[in-house]
Structure 1
Amino acid sequence: MSRPYNVAGYREQARRALPKAIFDFVDGAAGDEWTMRENRAAFERRAFLPSVLRDVSECSLATTVCNREMASPIMLAPAGLVGMMHPDGERAQVLAAREHGVIAVTSSASTYSFEELTDAVPDHRPWFQLYPYKDRGFYGEMVSRAANAGFTGLCLTVDASVSGKRERDLANHLSVRPLRVTWGNVTGAARHPRWLAGVLRERRIVARMSTEALGQDRPTLRSLLRSAGDSAANLVELLPRQSTWEDLEWLRDNWSGPLAVKGIVNPEDARHAARLGVDAIVVSNHGGRQLDGIPATFDLLPRVRGAVDEHVDLILDGGVRRGADIVKALCLGASACMVGRPWVYGLAAAGVSGVNGVLDILEEEMATTMALLGVRSVSELGSSHLA
């Protein structure tokens, strides 16, 4: 299989590699999928205004997010249950992040345990994504275990108190909270022998495809968190996610490392999060997977940027498919961009080499765009480069 030359090519390879239900789980969004489409359309509505006759013989993508140096302003967003896409799962995410000198934010619904991921890449410092749970004992256990495993940052997702109505999943009879993938609703699995062989090879994924994978007894769930990382993904999907600002304040008091909040689009929420001492705000509408009808995050970025001080890093999430999209986001005040679906497409297409391929493409496109804009570093980018 030849390497694609853009993210859309990896998406097409992922579509061919996966059963329809599994591809739709990655590719789909809530409701009419308007927000997901808007995330893309917003980038297309803004044009570049280049400067010429500049020395761009050398171009640096290097930047800093939360006082951490990165080779480029790209972060691999948390994506749950990606072991269903390819047996490399989240290991591919952290391996590719290390290779490219960027930050991987691994999901609390990971196919692999905290320790398996950090053991796989001991010289990489990933961040850990978690949801706000009412049970602070459970909450505290997850945070402590992440810290002990070597995770250096936390990313709190705050826009998923309930699951959005994802109609592709409904049409495919795919339940997500808790996960219920069965051989019945993964129709056409036999037509994807490489995917099927990978699933069968990884027992943790086969366990997910059993409707009897987990019981509902709370003490049992707590013990599963401590002992079985491969069950944690289902576990975190079963617990209620209702929470308040007080829980964010508690988390800030109990976590000394970088703390990001993901899912803020309202400037007033951004101000309040900043007052509570967060280090970064991820301007995100969950890729359109939660509430359909939220404007594009790219359109909302300037309003959020204007609501918080410069010491709070803004990370754009939603709709990024080109290196040029990342450049546009940086022009409007983002410190970096998270990419979610793109790296998962790469994973589904070719495992860790596919994730590396997606990052290669985005970085190459960024470098070309910046050179043609007449800038040599990301710090030179500003609103004057957009028409």
Structure 2
Amino acid sequence: MASTKQWFETVAEAQRRAKKRVPKSVYLALLAGAEEGRTLSENVAAFGELGFRPRIADLPAQRDQTTTVMGQELSLPVILSPTGVQAVAPDGELAVARAAATSGTALGLSSFAGKPIEDVVAANPKTFFQVYWQGDREAIVRRLERAARAGAKGLIVTLDWTFAHRRDWGSPALPDKVNLKSMLAFAPQVIARPRWLTAFLRRGTLPDLTTPNLAEAGQAAPTFFGAYGEWMGTPPPTWHDLAWLRERWDGPFLLKGISHPEDARRAVDIGASAISVSNHGGNNLDSTPASIRLLPGIVDAVGGQVDVVLDGGIRRGGDVVKALALGARAVLVGRPYLWGMAANGETGVHNVLEILRGGIDSALLGLARSSVRDLVPEDVLVPDGFRIDH
């Protein structure tokens, strides 16, 4: 279908509309990448080096995209990745949860999210809860217990972050909380994008930068930057710590941030259910290779013992198919759905998922594959030197 005022045809169009709708600092936050942004750019560019070899006859009349990740049945092999406080639209993570449910898929909910896990799970039972190694063990256990009570279907432990705040092009200025001082400082940006503020005011609210899923009993929820500071001050986990954490979560358990085959094997050793080949969307150590370059070697390293998903650089359905052909069970997407929400709220998130679904279907048809489960490495043309196996 052609693009209309309420519907767009590509992820690139979602990004363009997002830029026109939200304040400059909000938009720049959705683009952020570490240092020079080499990994950020490489994540996307690497998919362009991979090719397809289409067929012309005996093409399947029906194509099946269903798959299962961490025990959850999905109507397409795309999961919405956990991202922090989603104040790009009033409903934030609730809009994301509802859109994912409409499209028949799952989402990851960040522990830095702006909406409580109980409300998000109610909107979409296929919710995985994401945690960092943050604070003391007792606090971590309380978060896990709350997530379990709320009905989270699995745990995502994010490890691909080195607190690289440097941005050669300049980090966007964002307030710690919305008060009179910050409102005055950001007034010129907000006035330039009146529809964004109007959407909040119609709900009788302002953007909320607190993290309710980190709130302790009887205490106010910390701000995003307050939570981030605690995370920065917590010594990074050892493999012994991660094994301890695995023992305390009775359910599917995903380690996010795998870039090295040895780490993939260690994840299997501690009993992980799944791993995500990820560099935090280019926000970890800059000059880390694109996730898709690392994927085949990591798939080989674990030998089918765990679900492998890929995070980073997905912009179209063909990218999803390339990742699946090289061994991923599904992919995680972050920026694309945030652009969709910035462009058109819940409908925009659903729109992005359906763009990806359509692109997956077209690629399956062209490759004469009746199911995403039929994809094999030979469906992708991989240039010499593309793979990084160590």
Preserved CA contact (<8 Å) 1:173 1:185: no
Preserved CA contact (<8 Å) 1:204 1:230: no
What whole-Å deviation, never above 9, does each CA across 1:10-31 have from its counterpart, x for those lacking one? 0011000111111000112111
Q: Which residue of 2 aligns with 1:217?
A: none
Preserved CA contact (<8 Å) 2:143 2:214: no
Structure 1 residue 5 corresponds to structure 2 residue 6:
no
The residue type equivalent to 2:250 in the other structure is S
Q: Matched residues in 2 for 1:248 and 1:86: separation?
A: 34
Q: Which residue of 1 aligns with 2:65?
A: 61
Q: Which residue of 2 aligns with 1:78?
A: 82
Preserved CA contact (<8 Å) 1:332 1:383: yes
Kindly report which structure 2 residues correspond to 1:280-295, keeping only aligned pairs within 5 A, or say none: 280-295=274-289
The residue type equivalent to 2:98 in the other structure is L
Q: Matched residues in 2 for 1:282 and 1:361: separation?
A: 23
**1:36 deviation in Å?**
0.8
Q: Which residue of 2 aligns with 1:105?
A: 108
Preserved CA contact (<8 Å) 1:48 1:386: yes
Residue from 325, 334, 352 that aligns with 2:328: 334
Q: Matched residues in 1 for 2:170 and 2:178: separation?
A: 11
Cα distance, 1:315–1:203 mapped onto 2, change above 3 Å: farther
Preserved CA contact (<8 Å) 1:323 1:362: yes
Cα distance, 1:222–1:9 mapped onto 2, change above 3 Å: closer
The residue type equivalent to 1:286 in the other structure is H
Structure 1 residue 118 corresponds to structure 2 residue 109:
no
What whole-Å deviation, never above 9, does each CA across 1:284-339 have from its counterpart, x for those lacking one? 00111122110100011011111112021111000000000000000100000000
The residue type equivalent to 1:333 in the other structure is G
Q: Which residue of 2 aligns with 1:145?
A: 146
Cα distance, 1:205–1:118 mapped onto 2, change above 3 Å: farther
Structure 1 residue 45 corresponds to structure 2 residue 36:
no
Q: Matched residues in 2 for 1:372 and 1:305: separation?
A: 25
Q: Which residue of 2 aligns with 1:252?
A: 246
TM-score under structure 1 length normalisation: 0.89
Structure 1 residue 225 corresponds to structure 2 residue 219:
no
**1:70 deviation in Å?**
1.2
The residue type equivalent to 1:198 in the other structure is A
Q: Which residue of 2 aligns with 1:27?
A: 31
The residue type equivalent to 2:331 in the other structure is C
Give SS of 1:3's match.
coil
Q: Matched residues in 1 for 2:54 and 2:214: separation?
A: 57
CA RMSD of aligned residues (A): 2.4
Give SS of 1:281's match.
strand
Q: Which residue of 1 aligns with 2:387?
A: none
- Stretch of structure 1 that moved more, 161-170 or 254-263: 161-170
Q: Which residue of 2 aligns with 1:174?
A: 174
Preserved CA contact (<8 Å) 1:329 1:337: yes
Give SS of 1:92's match.
helix
Q: Matched residues in 2 for 1:222 and 1:130: separation?
A: 10
Q: Which residue of 2 aligns with 1:133?
A: 134
Q: Matched residues in 1 for 2:332 and 2:219: separation?
A: 28
Cα distance, 1:147–1:236 mapped onto 2, change above 3 Å: farther
Structure 1 residue 352 corresponds to structure 2 residue 340:
no
Q: Which residue of 2 aligns with 1:16?
A: 20
Q: Matched residues in 2 for 1:167 and 1:314: separation?
A: 32
**1:160 deviation in Å?**
2.1
Q: Which residue of 1 aligns with 2:384?
A: none
Give SS of 1:188's match.
helix
Q: Which residue of 2 aligns with 1:154?
A: 155
Structure 1 residue 264 corresponds to structure 2 residue 258:
yes
Runs (5+) with no aligned partner, structure 1: 215-220
Q: Which residue of 1 aligns with 2:369?
A: 375
Preserved CA contact (<8 Å) 1:174 1:180: no
Preserved CA contact (<8 Å) 1:35 1:296: yes
* Equivalences, count: 371
Give SS of 2:272's match.
coil
Preserved CA contact (<8 Å) 1:7 1:358: yes
The residue type equivalent to 1:273 in the other structure is A
Q: Matched residues in 2 for 1:204 and 1:284: separation?
A: 35
Give SS of 1:302's match.
helix
**1:55 deviation in Å?**
3.7
Cα distance, 1:300–1:205 mapped onto 2, change above 3 Å: farther
Cα distance, 1:111–1:373 mapped onto 2, change above 3 Å: same
Q: Matched residues in 1 for 2:379 and 2:33: separation?
A: 32
Q: Which residue of 1 aligns with 2:314?
A: 320
Q: Which residue of 1 aligns with 2:93?
A: 90
TM-score under structure 2 length normalisation: 0.89
Runs (5+) with no aligned partner, structure 2: 382-390
Q: Which residue of 2 aligns with 1:309?
A: 303
Preserved CA contact (<8 Å) 1:315 1:336: yes
What whole-Å deviation, never above 9, does each CA across 1:73-98 have from its counterpart, x for those lacking one? 1000011111x200120001111121
